[in-house]
Structure 1
C-alpha cells in the first residue's frame, strides 16, 4: 500500500521552510552557497588586488527553473551580488531563468558551446549522456536530498568516470533533490495496480523504469512543462519531488499526492571551461581547495 493523501486541498497552505505532507517536510533543493561564494571570482580578479588588467564581463547563468525558485533566490542571486561586490562591479552576472536561452534538455550544451557561462539542469533531461552518474538515481540512494548529495559527491570524487561523462564542461557542483512522490490530477493511488495505464511524467531513464515496473506509461517531460501537461490532460500525473508543490505551483493542478520516496534526481551546475580558465590561476586553485574542504 502506498501512503496516499486523498484531499490535497488541505495541503496547499505554505508553512515556513516548506510544505508539510503527511509529516514529511519537503525541504528546498540543496543550496550549496558555500561553493558559490568561492567561485564568485569566476571571470577575473579586480585590477587593484591582482595587479593585472581586467576587462568588464557579464556572466550568463542559464536555468530551467522559474524565476522565483529557491535555487535562484537562495543561491544564484546572492552569488551574482557577491560577484559584483568582490570585483567592484567589473564582473557582473545575469540569470536567464525559465528556459530563456533554450529548452531544459539543452542546458548542458549551452555551456559546452559557450552560449552560457554556467547552467543548472537535471542529468536525466539528456537520457544516455550520463549513464554512470545515473546510477545514483536508483532507489535507496539516500533518504533525502542531503544524504543523496553526499553519496553523489563521494562517488564523483572516487570514480573519474563520472567526471569524464561531463565532457566539454567543468563541474561546479552536483547535488540531489528531495525524494520524488507521485502527483495525480484525478486518480488516487492506493496500490501499484492503480498506476496501470496512467500517463505519468518521468524526468529520467531510472524513473521511467520505476514507473514501467508499476504498469504506468512513462512520459518524458521537463518539470517546466508538467503544470500545463497536467492541466490539459496530456499526462495523468507526474513523478517529481514534493518541493514542486510550491516551486513549480503544482498544487494548482494536483488532486492527489502519493508519498513513496520513489527516487531522487541528480542535478548539475557546470561552468564553461573557457570562463573557468579566464580566472587567475591562484583563484582557481583556492576555490577548488576550499570546495574540497567543505565536503570533508
Structure 2
C-alpha cells in the first residue's frame, strides 16, 4: 500500500512536470518573435496603391503566417527615395520595395520596352503583360539580385497642363513637361516639348512655382498626388505606360522557413498583378470623372498611332528607344515582339 501510494505520487509529479514543460513550450511558440518585413514605397498613405494594394497584401501575409510575419509599410518615400527603393531592397536596407523602373534610367532597359505606345490600353493589360514576360523569362534577368514578388503597371499616361491646350505636337513647343521615364521623355522631345526629369513628389510645388508648364502622368497618379488641383487642361493620349516592380530582398526571403516562403509565394505573381491592375483602372476612371466634373478641359486622342499629327513623334520615340537598347548589345527587337504577343494575349 505504501509502495503503491509512493508510486502514485511520483507518477503524478512526473505528469505535472511534463504538463508544465508542455505549457512552457507552448508559451515559447506563442511568444515567438515575429519576423518584421520593412516595405518602402513612394505613394502617399492616402493613395489607393497604399490602401487597396499594399496594406491589404500586408494584412494577408500576417494572417496567413499566423502572425509570424509582419509587414511594416513606409509610404511617401520615408524609408527609401522614390528612385532608390529597388536598390535599397537589393542591398537589404529595406526588406521589400516598390518603384517605377523608369526612375532609374538604364537599369531595366528590357522591361521598359513594355512602356512603349500601343502595347497597353489599361493597367490590367499592362500588369498582365509585365508579369507574363517575367514569368516566361523574357525580362527576368533584370531582377536576379532580388526576389521578385509581382509586377504592376499604370494605365496610359496623358499630358496635363495649366491653361495650355495640347491638341497637336506643335502645341508642346516651348513647354516644360515633367517626364516619368526616358521613353516618355523621348516622345515629348520628338513632339517638340522640353522633357524635365523630376520625382513625382516634387511636381506639385514645381507646377505652383511655374518651374513646369505641365506633366505626363496617368490619371491615378494625378489624383493620388493631388495634381488635379493645379493642372486643368488634359490631353488624354495613350502614348506610354509606366512599369512598376514590387520586390523582396533575396537573403531575407531565402532565410525564411519553407512554410513562410510559401505564404509569400501564395501572394505573389499574376494574382497580385491582376488585383493591382483593377485598382489602378478604377482610380483612373474616378479621377478623370472628377476632373470633368470640376470643368477641366478634356482633349481626347484615343488612337495616336493612327493619328496623322501624332503618329510621327510616337513612332520616332519608339524607334529611338529600341535602337538605344540594341546598341547596348541587347535583343530589343525580340523582346518588343514578345511584348506585343503578351499584350495581345492580355487584352481585356
TM-score by length of 2: 0.66
Corresponding position: 1:181 with 2:154: no
**Correspondence 1:223 to 2:205:** no
Q: Distance in 2 between matches of 1:152 and 1:251?
A: 28
Task: Number of aligned residue pairs: give it.
Answer: 247
Gaps of 5+ in 2: 1-24, 275-345
Q: Deviations over 1:172-195 (max 9, x none)?
A: 111211110101113111211000
Greater helix fraction, Structure 1 or Structure 2: 2
* TM-align CA RMSD: 2.5
Q: Distance in 2 between matches of 1:126 and 1:292?
A: 23
Within a 5 Å distance, the mapping from 1:235-250 to structure 2 comes to 235-250=212-227
Structure with the larger RCO, 1 or 2 (CA within 8 Å, 6+ apart): 1
Counterpart contact for 1:193–1:214, Cα < 8 Å: yes
Shift in Å, 1:57 = 2.4
1:6-45 correspondence to structure 2 within 5 Å? none
Q: What is residue 35 of structure 2 aligned with on the other side? A: 57
Any idea what the Cα deviations from partners look like across 1:221-247, whole Å, max 9, x if unmatched? Answer: 122111111111111111100112321
Aligned residue number for residue 96 of structure 2:
118
SS in 2 for 1:67: coil
**Which residue does 1:207 correspond to in 2?**
184
Q: Any idea what SS the aligned residue of 1:267 has?
A: strand
Distance 1:272-1:85 versus aligned 2 partners, 3 A rule = same
2:79 is matched with: 101
After superposition, the C-alpha distances for 1:252-281 in whole angstroms (9 at most, x for unaligned) are: 111211111111100000101122112222
Is the CA contact (8 Å cut-off) linking 2:96 and 2:246 kept in structure 1? Answer: yes
Query: What's the counterpart of residue 133 of structure 1?
Result: 111
User: Whose strand fraction is larger, Structure 1's or Structure 2's?
Assistant: 1
Quick one: which of 117, 121, 143 aligns to 1:166? Answer: 143
**Unpaired runs of at least 5, structure 1:** 1-46
Q: How many Å separate the matches in 2 of 1:210 and 1:169?
A: 31
Q: TM-score of the superposition, structure 1-length normalised? A: 0.76
